[in-house]
Structure 1
Amino acid sequence: MRHYRPILALASCFTLVASSGAYLETPEPWQVTRLNTFSPSGRPGSDVNAHLWANITNPSPIPAGPGVTFDASSANCTVNWVYAGDYPYGHVFICNTTDTEESSSSSTSKWTIEVLEANVTSPSATTNMDVRFTLTTNLTVDGDEYYKVLVGTQHFQVGENMRGSCGGSGVCSWTLRDESVPVLVQPTVVACQGTC
């Protein structure tokens, strides 16, 4: 009988790890379906603001715990800054978040966006930049609180996954190349509570 107890204990541990393995999987990639930038001409009397607009979707529910998931969600994000002499770097902007219509739980989601200076020779907040998306999702079930914070960063650059043009007035407008849509962003979990 003694010989079976360690084996039984090991089998129980293996079962626990195997059953929770689904929650340790790499999250599904997010999808950026729109990313546009605009820079003004800089002429006196014209608009001085630059803009970046992005749509991002987490298309799949995220495991939170046994039998519990966070809903899929999407967001519309806007970054505005004064183009001449200012940059959006180092600022976090809150996105307008929408949970999917086929909600399976009462989870809440919040998306944010940051424009990062790309580690390249000619970085630009409108034509050659890194964009970081952060998704925070929360859920309470039977008094148990669950949350996850996921972060994903992707590089966007004219000539690679973006295209556009500048007009004679100096106004420039850029967007995702059709063949690049959706641009995938691989998130990683940076904080969580519940089954991580």
Structure 2
Amino acid sequence: MHLTTILLSVLPFTILAAPSLLPWKITALSTFTPSGRSGNPPYSSLTVTITDPNTIPLGKTHYSSETSFPPSNATCTTKWNSYISESPFDKNIPCQSDNFNAGRWSVVMQKGNGTGDGPSATRDFRLRFELEESMMLNEGIVRKTFVGTAGFVLVTPPQITPEYNPDLLALFYLNPPPPLPTSPLHTAPPPYSPPASYTPQLHP
């Protein structure tokens, strides 16, 4: 049995976004691999929590001065039976949110290759998040879909330095999703060294 929680190496990627939007943030991520012993379930799993800090104004209504898409967070969980070669990739996974006013979150796990050893659903993968926001506005409805994608490599054994900030696990911007990163990690992975800080760059 192997459980990995919030120990990530974030792959570099291009960020494309409007400067007025704050980045989405992965606040927790864990994967589980079964032991394979008799009497134990054969399911692998992934659980991830994402936060959108943005408040997006929509306009005035008949009953209030202003309405908006509020900040939100969601937790996404998926299980798959790896012992019968069930694949978790490219499946739409609905997520659950504690915020009643939040939109509908979903995530799709995609194949990654950040280590150069090929994709792994519990160690080397990409996540594509989608947030559908809808709000009644007077006689109509406003709806918008946002998308963000990032790649993850889970480190074994975990390496944490005093300078490493676990709150900076992954930052990425909204729509459109960045392309699959090209990185030296794909061919010759260097020894893992957690970043002291992460400063996202905006590109027009």
TM-score by shorter chain over 0.5? yes
1:75 aligns with 2:74: yes
Of 40, 60, 65, the match for 2:54: 60
Q: Which residue does 2:186 correspond to in 1?
A: none
Larger radius of gyration: 1
Matches within 5 A, 1:9-88: 27-65=21-59, 67-84=66-83, 85-88=85-88
Q: Which one has a larger percent strand, Structure 1 or Structure 2?
A: 1
Letter in structure 1 aligned against 2:125: M
Q: Which residue does 1:153 correspond to in 2?
A: 149
1:45 to partner: Cα distance = 2.5
Q: 1:188 to 1:65 in 2, by over 3 A?
A: farther
1:127 aligns with 2:156: no
1:76 to partner: Cα distance = 1.1
Q: 1:163 to 1:132 in 2, by over 3 A?
A: farther
3-state DSSP of counterpart to 2:98: strand
1:65 to partner: Cα distance = 4.9
Structure 2: unaligned runs, 5 residues or longer: 1-17, 61-65, 178-204
Q: Is the 8 A contact 1:26 1:188 kept in 2?
A: no
1:179 to partner: Cα distance = 2.6
Q: 1:71 to 1:152 in 2, by over 3 A?
A: same
TM-score (norm 1): 0.66
1:31 to partner: Cα distance = 1.0
1:114 to partner: Cα distance = 1.3
Cα distance in 1 for partners of 2:103, 2:145 equals: 10
Q: Count residues with an aligned counterpart.
A: 147
Of 172, 175, 191, the match for 1:188: 175
Cα distance in 2 for partners of 1:30, 1:140 equals: 24
1:75 to partner: Cα distance = 0.5
Q: Is the 8 A contact 2:113 2:124 kept in 1?
A: no
Of 137, 144, 163, the match for 1:141: 137
Q: Which residue does 1:94 correspond to in 2?
A: 94
After superposition, what is the alpha-carbon deviation per residue over 1:42-90, rounded to whole angstroms, capped at 9, x for unaligned? 2232220011011111112124357542111110110111122122101
TM-score (norm 2): 0.64
Q: 1:149 to 1:95 in 2, by over 3 A?
A: same
Structure 1: unaligned runs, 5 residues or longer: 1-23, 101-106, 166-177, 191-196
